[in-house]
Structure 1
Amino acid sequence: MQLDFFPSRTLTLYLAKMFVVRILAVLVMLVLVLLALDLLAATGEILAVEGNGQGEILTYASLRIPQLISRFLPYSVLLATLITLVTLNQNSEVVAMKAAGLSAHQVLAPLLLAAAVVSVVSFAFNERVVTRANATLKAWEAAEFGPIPRDSGVRSNVYLTDGDDILTAISLTGAGELIELSGVTYYRRAPGGMISEQVRAPRAVYAGPGWRLEEAQRFDVGTAQSSAAGELVVAPSLSPAQIDLQSVDPDALPFWELSGTIDAFEAAGRRTSEMRAKWWHRLSGPLSALLMPLLGSVAAFGLARSGQLFVRAVIGMALGFAYFVIDNAALAMGSFGGYPPLLAAWAPFLLFLLLGETVLVRTEE
């Protein structure tokens, strides 16, 4: 019985090279097809802006390619796994390796090693390239594919909460304790959730604590009467730090910066379920490539002439796509607070790791 986890060096390099070449081939094919379809939908909007031309279309493509690579790399690993293992099975190479004394895990070891390297490269690519592409493309889309304006520090349509009460503003300027709100409306809500009072003011500034509304007009919902309130301080628990944390896009922040942002949100008493789930998924997402050889391994074993090879390949593909469906559903539940973020990010990975290992052991070992 051979106790080494990997087969010989020659066989390891042979299998790993075959696997990596197929990963790259499938990835290029998927990215080119999906990019062409995406350009068909987006080109009209880009060219509708005066002054845009071929250069802007190429810019859009350069920003979309990293996103497509990041999203479909695990799918490429799954399809490459099936192609590689089916080819080895049809050529009786798996039979030869098992006849030489290799176990099923040793046959898969070179593929798992290559998938682990792909996972590390995917993580680095996501943090160094994809996050920047996300930030740039979202800013360009917000400008409707026109010139991206410089950040003036002015924000519009501000929506803030102070417990059950709501504070809205048409615009916000400044930062920290120098924040100034314009076109302010404050909604005070009763314990049952119904709005009991509405206060409007043309301007509000930080009162430390609370926000001072100037020239406020109060409307009592219960009596349907309006009255002048002059200066009025509202939302005492709403701090400038909480307002500064309003416009954070977790998809555009690198892993380490997102970690610091989550800490800042928690210190300000803000909800962090969505960002925490995406933070954990930054680790579990790239590792999904490591699962694909295990889930697709059912296509490697069993005699090709038995007529079950196609069925085995379909089972492997079904297991892989089932993982992606459950992973996306769990991440959505974690973002909404239905699952704890740690469970939402890692439960699908661990579940399918155990499932793939169980199928492999019970059928081949």
Structure 2
Amino acid sequence: MQLDFFPSRTLTIYLAKLFVVRIFAMLIMLVLVLMMLDLLSNSGDILAVEGNGQGELLTYTGLRIPQLISRFLPYSVLLATLISLVTLNQNSEVIAMKAAGLSAHQVLAPLLLTAGIISLVSFGFNERVVTRSTATLKAWEAVDYGAVPRDSGVRANIYLTDGTSVLTAAQLTGSGDAIAMNDVTWYLRNPDGTIVEQVDAARATYAAPGWRLEDTQRFRVQNAVTDRPGDLVVGTGLTPSQIDLAKIDPETQPFWTLSQSIDAYEKAGRRTAELRAKWWHKISGPLSAFLMPLLGAVAAFGLARSGQLFVRAVIGMAMGFAFFVVDNAALAMGSFGGYPPFLAAWAPVLLFVLIGETVLIRTEE
């Protein structure tokens, strides 16, 4: 029986249902509270744009909620673990399971299985939904909540150089020769870096070579004159392939797309440590939900002897939040080369698996 992690089908289903209900209750509570606070902070900026109203607020909410779900799902699993195990312990259900011959790992097995399934669902949700909503939201923020971008493949805040001159764009959509940029500014500069003229344009498309600026307004620094020259072609040294590699945001690219972008960066001889760390973290991040039952298990075992239910619940919560602190710190270290990318993404998970197992075993002994 000790080698069978699910000795009772009824008990497994009971614990899994108990756990799932609490996870979603915690998640809904956190997302609703945080969404209300977020709207209080940003609704003024959204409604400040002429024509924006309730529809735009609902659009913002729809784009923001997937981000909140992705970020706070592991916290919800941690809180659900503590609530579930404390409740089971208070009702002497843990004692009953121990008396029936179940080990600590057998008691936790249904919770770990449930958390593992949630981790897999979270990975798919992040790659299919969160990346798209994040890309669209960032592009919308880049134009100060003006027209809502319809292309989910948009990129925001593009900065490109052609010699000493600079081309910036608030939004970029498409790829290859079909690239289009919105809210574009071209800075023509001397070799010493001084600006000769500034051209603002509503849109830019590839002119093969160069980029055709449409609906332009030009300001010449030398005589401080502003005019409207019509369409202009600038940046003849900038190619679509260069622009495709100009800015890669791991938060807006799915796992497989990001892998291809990293390969392209490496072929171009660019540094990829930060991208590699975040690529690995796309896998290790959702697995943090699987780790939470192990870290929160201290709240379930040993209470009959010590009687310190609240203290053990606090210890479990502290261990869970310590993991998130270490995980963010390791990812930051990996982003600027302090850790190898693989180590930055996986070391916190492996470390806290060992810590959780050690605490669980020591508690049982």
Both proteins in one fold, TM over 0.5: yes
2-structure distance, mates of 1:169, 1:297: 56
Q: 2:347 is matched with which residue?
A: 347
Matches within 5 A, 1:175-254: 183-185=187-189, 241-254=241-254
* Other structure's SS at 2:52 match: coil
Q: 1:194 is matched with which residue?
A: none
Q: Does 1:169 align with 2:166?
A: yes
* Other structure's SS at 1:169 match: strand
Q: 2:314 is matched with which residue?
A: 314
The alpha carbon displacement at 1:167 in A equals 4.3
The alpha carbon displacement at 1:247 in A equals 2.5
The alpha carbon displacement at 1:358 in A equals 1.0
Q: Does 1:126 align with 2:123?
A: no
Q: 2:260 is matched with which residue?
A: 260
1-structure distance, mates of 2:292, 2:157: 45
2-structure distance, mates of 1:118, 1:250: 22
Answer whether contact 1:302 1:309 (CA < 8 A) is retained.
no
1-structure distance, mates of 2:101, 2:156: 67
* Other structure's SS at 2:166 match: strand
Answer whether contact 1:90 1:304 (CA < 8 A) is retained.
no
Q: 1:273 is matched with which residue?
A: 273
- Could you say what the CA RMSD is over the residues aligned between the two structures, in angstroms? 3.2
Amino-acid identity (%): 70
Answer whether contact 1:155 1:171 (CA < 8 A) is retained.
no
TM-score by length of 1: 0.79
2-structure distance, mates of 1:292, 1:25: 16
1-structure distance, mates of 2:263, 2:329: 25
Q: 2:111 is matched with which residue?
A: 111
Q: 1:71 is matched with which residue?
A: 71
2-structure distance, mates of 1:110, 1:99: 18
CA shift in 2, pair 1:240/1:298, >3 Å: same
CA shift in 2, pair 1:101/1:245, >3 Å: same
Matched to 1:263, the amino acid is D
Work out the number of aligned pairs and report it: 319
2-structure distance, mates of 1:363, 1:186: 70
1-structure distance, mates of 2:36, 2:158: 36
CA shift in 2, pair 1:5/1:184, >3 Å: same
1:207-228 CA-to-partner distances (Å, cap 9, x unmatched) read 9xxxxxxxxxxxxxxxxxxxxx
The alpha carbon displacement at 1:155 in A equals 9.9
2-structure distance, mates of 1:292, 1:280: 19
Q: Does 1:283 align with 2:280?
A: no
1:153-179 CA-to-partner distances (Å, cap 9, x unmatched) read 999884559xxxx84424599978x9x
CA shift in 2, pair 1:49/1:240, >3 Å: closer
Answer whether contact 1:241 1:268 (CA < 8 A) is retained.
no
Q: 2:2 is matched with which residue?
A: 2
* Other structure's SS at 1:247 match: coil
1-structure distance, mates of 2:363, 2:17: 27
Answer whether contact 1:7 1:107 (CA < 8 A) is retained.
no
CA shift in 2, pair 1:303/1:256, >3 Å: same
CA shift in 2, pair 1:171/1:255, >3 Å: closer
Matched to 2:282, the amino acid is R
2-structure distance, mates of 1:113, 1:206: 55
Answer whether contact 1:242 1:265 (CA < 8 A) is retained.
no
Q: Does 1:82 align with 2:79?
A: no
2-structure distance, mates of 1:34, 1:327: 22
The alpha carbon displacement at 1:184 in A equals 4.6
The alpha carbon displacement at 1:363 in A equals 1.7
Answer whether contact 2:140 2:149 (CA < 8 A) is retained.
no
Answer whether contact 2:160 2:243 (CA < 8 A) is retained.
no
* Other structure's SS at 1:40 match: helix
2-structure distance, mates of 1:317, 1:126: 25
1-structure distance, mates of 2:148, 2:22: 39
CA shift in 2, pair 1:106/1:336, >3 Å: same
The alpha carbon displacement at 1:307 in A equals 3.1
Matched to 2:25, the amino acid is A
2-structure distance, mates of 1:55, 1:81: 37
Q: Does 1:43 align with 2:40?
A: no
1-structure distance, mates of 2:67, 2:158: 29
* Other structure's SS at 1:128 match: helix
Q: Please list every run of 5 or more consecutive structure 1 residues that lacks an aligned counterpart in the other structure.
A: 188-196, 208-235
The alpha carbon displacement at 1:279 in A equals 0.6
Q: Please list every run of 5 or more consecutive structure 2 residues that lacks an aligned counterpart in the other structure.
A: 180-184, 200-206, 210-236
Find runs of 4+ consecutive structure 1 residues off by over 2 angstroms. Answer: 148-151, 153-161, 170-176, 181-187, 197-203, 238-244, 303-307
Matched to 1:266, the amino acid is E
